[in-house]
Amino acid sequence: MTINKSMPTDSLTVKSITTDKFKTGALALLVRTKNEPLCAPYSLLMCEMLRSGTQKYPTKAKIAKRLDELYAASVGIKAMKEGAWRVFAFSAEILDEKYSTDGTDITDSISEMLEQFMFYPSLDEDGLFPETTFEQEKKRVITYLRSIINNPSRYASMRLSDLIARHK
């Protein structure tokens, strides 16, 4: 197994993992920023909005179609807290290209999709996220956050993580 890691800037880490043991590979782009108080819900909402569409793939259906064309590749966008940092992870799992039957350059194609998610989100004519999508995703995030608060063990675990992070 080979793990490649590079840090083009202090806030961006690029990792790739390759091995002959599996027929798949993974790619992750990690962007790190200071964790500001109360930014978690906004980070979650931003990830949902980025995942909802890009300029080239404006709908979830078009994203899914393109991922299917890339041998059922998958992408993930999430925000997580790491101590005093907020980390945004853009990741992908892909088929090893030597198993591609038609010579598709899966790595370049998935890299292009991750670039779309990071730098070219689907925006309206005013340069804002589409209002309908924003309202839908906002409702989903609120529902998700309420489900955490209504689950005592999950909420306690989350609060414990917060307290530990403050004292690091």
Residues 126 and 145: their CA atoms lie apart, in Å, by 29
Q: What is the pLDDT of residues 37-57, one digit of tens each?
A: 788 889 999 999 999 999 999
Output the pTM of the full model: 0.81
What residues in the chain have per-residue pLDDT under 70? 18, 165-168
Long-range Cβ contacts of 72-78 (<8 Å, 24+ apart)? 73/106, 73/110, 75/51, 75/110, 75/113, 75/114, 75/117, 77/47, 77/50, 77/51, 77/117, 78/47
Q: What is the pLDDT of residues 118-134, one digit of tens each?
A: 999 999 999 999 999 99
